[in-house]
Amino acid sequence: MELPLSYSRRSGIQQSISGLAIALAPNLRRDRVSYRGQLIDPLVFREAISALHDVVINDLRYKPKDKSAYQAYRASESSRLSAIRTETARATTAELKSQLLEPMPPNLEGDFRKARDHYWKARQQYSNHLLQHDRELWRLMMPCDPVITVAEDCLFFECFSADESSYGCLTVDRDAFQNESDVALGTTNVDYSWGLYEHFQKLRSYRNTNFEIDPTGFDVSTEGADSHREEKIDLPNSWLRGFMQLQSAMVLPNRRVQLTREAVYSILAFLNRNRAARAPRALRFELDPGKPIALVMEPWEKRIELPNSIYRGVRTESIRVWGRDRLHVLARMLPLMESVDVHLMGTGLPSFWVVRMPKMRLVLALSGWTTNNWTGASALQQLAPPGSIDETTLTAIAGAFRASPKMTFEQLRNAVAIDPPVLAAGLHRLALLGQLIHDMPAQSYRWRQVMPAPLTLDQIGQEDTETREAVRLLAQSTIKIVRDEVSDSNSRLVEATIRDRWNAEKKTELLLDSNGIIQRGKCNCSHHFKNALRMGPCRHLQAVRNQLVNSGHAVSMDQWFRSFWN
């Protein structure tokens, strides 16, 4: 998807006698959004916005070591031998060719493979070089500038990491500003350069800091003028789909765990002093109703007891989450945070860390694995409501936000005549389409269009391969249920056989909880042998579960809402 961006100037910080002025240049291609105000506590904003910047540039994917200097040394040492071999080979080849009756045909296929490998290797080396020596140019290769929204009660900034595995949302109350003027509500992209990040580090408490989203830039209507900076960013399908799946994941129900600042410090301090040499590298939450929460650092089994954090859930659980190395972005916020709420969706699923600060909140969302971004797994789809939502329902829900762009679930129930289960499913779909966001700290929903025009499912992208193949297998009707038992805890053990397109029989075994979610699974296919459930259920496990849903034995929309949402 191609996203056009137009800025009247570069964002920056202007210094005057009265203090500093933060001037963010908005995207002129979107509706007019502006804001002016003076920060009351610039130090808190400096640390919070800097942590958000760390989320944007966060990329923990494996990077090979730079061996360019060593390779240059080896090349210089072997240059003499290489010249001798080259000259000998050239003379020998010329002698052999002179003895042939017909000329040797060119090796087009081999040359093409070599040229292609050389191109992609050079392209990766160029990207790594920019990351180390020209971060401003490297930042221009990032998928998209941050998104900022001016609401009635707050301003919030959103960003997505380079490796598509982390999301950050900084919410700043309007009470954190004074002398407000020229306020125009809405959502836009802002130019966030590397130089602006460096300027943020200059904010001090003894200087007046004025915050401004340039309101005058929208008065210029001439497209392509010299004062405008035009960009066209080709958003990758994986980035767009990942960002939208994140919005829908925030709407889904979860378990809330309250942590103290000391608990976050203990996690970061232990990770700084220790490095895991083997798997698993998970952070395990031991949850027992009415008892203190315990955190376990794997694989050391280091246990961190939290006597002041009592779990208020209804059942005993042990939830493992990954991506703990990305929690280092919270380090510089430790002196400022008042408390931290962790929203857990389940083992291996995304986790949401809500950091509360004076008049500010930061939501840090982490996917299950660094290489398993929001787009790579189908596990989130198992949590989605088991039904479809029509356009009439979505239009009615969207119309309720015209009266107030921020509403709680109870307020939405009173505003629209829609059953609560259907309303919850409709909010999930609108979040997937980028129309609204779940404000987790405030436990409310905000109407916020992440793109200038409403998105469609085709623009977001198709489902992953395993999910598509599961639909095809279900249509072939080759699934045979061998065992189907329900335990006293309403867990369901199912054994089935299924034949694939090559008529090979796959034996599956899955355990479903009372909500129809796959807790454990076994399959003799290659996908499950390699990934287990880390990359989501394989096509065979999904096909068996889908058949149970379609046959009416799994949970309905009402059951999903009663037992899962609440």
CATH number of the domain residue 355 falls in = 3.10.150.10
Amino acid at 413: R
pLDDT per position as a tens digit, 342-354: 998 877 778 899 9
Question: How confident is the model at residue 218, as a pLDDT?
Answer: 36
pLDDT reading at 21 higher than 70: no
Same domain, 285 and 321: yes
Same domain, 309 and 369: yes
pLDDT per position as a tens digit, 41-86: 888 888 888 887 777 777 666 667 777 787 888 888 788 888 888 8
Whole-angstrom distance, CA of residue 496 vs CA of residue 521: 11
Question: How confident is the model at residue 372, as a pLDDT?
Answer: 45
pLDDT per position as a tens digit, 91-104: 887 787 777 666 66
Considering 331, 353, 382, which residue would you say is the last residue of a domain?
382
Same domain, 400 and 372: no
Whole-angstrom distance, CA of residue 274 vs CA of residue 269: 9
Is 239 within the bounds of a domain?
Answer: no
Considering 445, 460, 475, which residue would you say is the last residue of a domain?
460
Q: Which of these ranges, 19-28, 110-119, 355-364, 497-506, has the smallest mean pLDDT? A: 19-28
> At 491, is the pLDDT very low, low, confident or very high (cuts 50, 70, 90)?
confident
pLDDT reading at 300 higher than 90: yes
Is 83 within the bounds of a domain?
Answer: no
Average pLDDT over the chain reads 77
pLDDT per position as a tens digit, 396-422: 998 898 888 889 988 998 888 888 888
Same domain, 298 and 406: no
Same domain, 196 and 55: yes
Question: How confident is the model at residue 158, as a pLDDT?
Answer: 85
Is 91 within the bounds of a domain?
Answer: no
Question: How confident is the model at residue 342, as a pLDDT?
Answer: 93
CB 253 within 8 A of CB 21: no
pLDDT per position as a tens digit, 252-289: 878 889 999 999 999 999 999 998 887 778 899 999 98
Same domain, 57 and 146: yes
Backbone conformation region of residue 38, classed left if phi is above 0, alpha if psi is from -120 to 50, else beta: beta
Q: How many CA atoms lie within 13 A of 559 on its CB side?
A: 14
Express as a percent the part of the chain with pLDDT over 90: 10
Question: How confident is the model at residue 82, as a pLDDT?
Answer: 81
pLDDT reading at 298 higher than 50: yes
CB 171 within 8 A of CB 49: no
Is 179 within the bounds of a domain?
Answer: yes
Is 79 within the bounds of a domain?
Answer: no
> At 14, is the pLDDT very low, low, confident or very high (cuts 50, 70, 90)?
low
When divided into structural domains, the chain yields a total of 4
Backbone conformation region of residue 461, classed left if phi is above 0, alpha if psi is from -120 to 50, else beta: left
For residue 486, give both structure tokens.
């329900």
Same domain, 378 and 395: no
Is 514 within the bounds of a domain?
Answer: yes
Question: How confident is the model at residue 202, as a pLDDT?
Answer: 74
Cβ-based neighbour number of residue 67 at 10 Å: 10
Per-residue DSSP letter, 405: S
Alpha-carbon separation of residue 322 from 161, 186, 505 (angstroms): 16, 35, 34
Question: How confident is the model at residue 259, as a pLDDT?
Answer: 92
The average pLDDT across 443-461 equals 76
CB 330 within 8 A of CB 361: no
pLDDT per position as a tens digit, 112-153: 678 877 876 776 677 677 767 765 565 555 545 678 888 888
Same domain, 145 and 179: yes
pLDDT per position as a tens digit, 517-554: 677 889 989 888 887 776 678 888 888 887 776 554 44
Is 482 within the bounds of a domain?
Answer: yes
CA angle 252, 257, 261 (to 5 degrees): 130
Same domain, 212 and 317: no
Question: How confident is the model at residue 215, as a pLDDT?
Answer: 60
Considering 460, 485, 511, which residue would you say is the last residue of a domain?
460
Cα end-to-end distance, the chain, whole Å: 37
> At 160, is the pLDDT very low, low, confident or very high (cuts 50, 70, 90)?
confident
Same domain, 553 and 491: yes
Q: Residue 430 belongs to a domain with what CATH number? A: 1.10.10.10
Range of the domain at 358: 245-382
Question: How confident is the model at residue 263, as a pLDDT?
Answer: 92
Is 73 within the bounds of a domain?
Answer: no
Q: Residue 173 belongs to a domain with what CATH number? A: 3.10.150
pLDDT reading at 509 higher than 80: yes
Same domain, 360 and 396: no
Whole-angstrom distance, CA of residue 141 vs CA of residue 48: 24
CB 159 within 8 A of CB 55: yes
- The owner of tokens 């080259």 is 86
pLDDT per position as a tens digit, 202-253: 777 777 888 887 665 433 333 333 444 445 455 556 667 777 777 788 888 7
Strand spans (E) along 298-368: 302-310, 317-321, 339-344, 351-357, 360-366
The average pLDDT across 375-381 equals 51
Same domain, 173 and 283: no
